[in-house]
């Protein structure tokens, strides 16, 4: 299994923010945390494809938003912000070596952080970054490959994966205050602990879960359900509205 990552931009302090107030980001610490994140992915068995930093693109470390990768194809997204659209092509260049590429076109907007795959269903968050036209285009692109798209309103956080992530074993980890979990068919829900609002974001890697170290009570809930959980400190990246899923694209 591969993981595409990109080094932290030295201009991360200029990142786009929607739901968080701007806080001081320690760039050296952010870079060190991202390196620890990459090491953790390697320890979990992933082969890294590390892209060079893009100093002029403050949000470019968040590679997940640039593509939706399925077993058969990869879809180039169209981020909502002009400042982020330049991030897509370098990631697509890597993915083109592994998948046939399709694209979301104007006026659609779609970001990978708004897409949760559970089996052959793609749940697409309708957020400030992904619109109905983007979701419609994705549905058209994936339908011939046997996938269905279902939309989920995301009014209270940046992306759908900010609120919820699929963690395997037919289980959704979610902040129920930020997403209506009844819209997800036939899944068990592990709720983020009170006071750990951003704890709905975890990533599944070869039978393990990786999540931010900042949410120990939610981690305990997952472990009580039998999940093996590893944690990584991403506190500086969280100031840029990041989780753990947004810093990589995983594919086989």
Q: Compute the mean pLDDT over every residue in the chain, rounded to the nearest whole number.
A: 98
SS3 196: coil
SS3 233: coil
| Region 2-251: CATH code | 3.75.10.10
The pTM for the full model equals 0.97
% of the chain beyond a pLDDT of 70: 100
Q: Average of pLDDT values for 170-178?
A: 98
The pair phi, psi for residue 249, each rounded to 5°, is -120, 120
What is the rounded CA–CA span in Å between residue 231 and residue 225?
17
181 has pLDDT over 90:
yes
206 has pLDDT over 90:
no
What is the rounded CA–CA span in Å between residue 203 and residue 63?
14
Q: Could you give the residue numbers annotated as active site?
A: 159, 246
Looking at the chain, list the stretches that DSSP marks H as alpha helix, in order from N- to C-terminal side.
27-43, 82-85, 88-95, 132-142, 160-163, 216-224, 235-238
């Amino acid at each position: 299994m591969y993981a595409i990552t990109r080094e932290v931009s030295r201009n991360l302090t200029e990142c786009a923010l929607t739901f968080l107030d701007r806080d001081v980001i320690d760039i050296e610490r952010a870079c060190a945390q991202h390196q620890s994140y990459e090491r953790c992915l390697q320890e979990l068995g992933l082969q890294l494809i590390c892209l060079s930093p893009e100093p002029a693109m403050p949000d470019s470390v968040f590679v997940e938003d640039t593509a939706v990768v399925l077993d058969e194809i990869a879809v180039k997204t169209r981020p909502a912000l002009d400042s982020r659209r330049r991030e897509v092509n370098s990631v697509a260049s890597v993915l083109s070596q592994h998948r046939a590429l399709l694209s979301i076109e104007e006026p659609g907007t779609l970001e990978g952080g708004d897409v949760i795959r559970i089996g052959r269903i793609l749940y697409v968050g309708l957020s400030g970054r992904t619109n109905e036209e983007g979701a419609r285009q994705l549905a058209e692109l994936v339908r011939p490959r046997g996938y269905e798209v279902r939309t989920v309103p995301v009014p209270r956080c940046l992306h759908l994966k900010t609120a919820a992530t699929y963690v395997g074993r037919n289980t959704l980890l979610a902040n129920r205050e930020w997403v209506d979990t009844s819209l997800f068919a036939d899944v068990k829900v592990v709720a983020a602990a009170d006071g750990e609002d951003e704890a709905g974001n975890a990533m599944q890697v070869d039978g393990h879960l990786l999540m931010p170290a900042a949410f120990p009570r939610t981690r305990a809930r997952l472990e009580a359900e039998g999940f093996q959980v590893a944690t990584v400190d991403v506190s500086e990246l969280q100031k840029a509205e990041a989780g753990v899923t947004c810093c990589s694209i995983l594919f086989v």
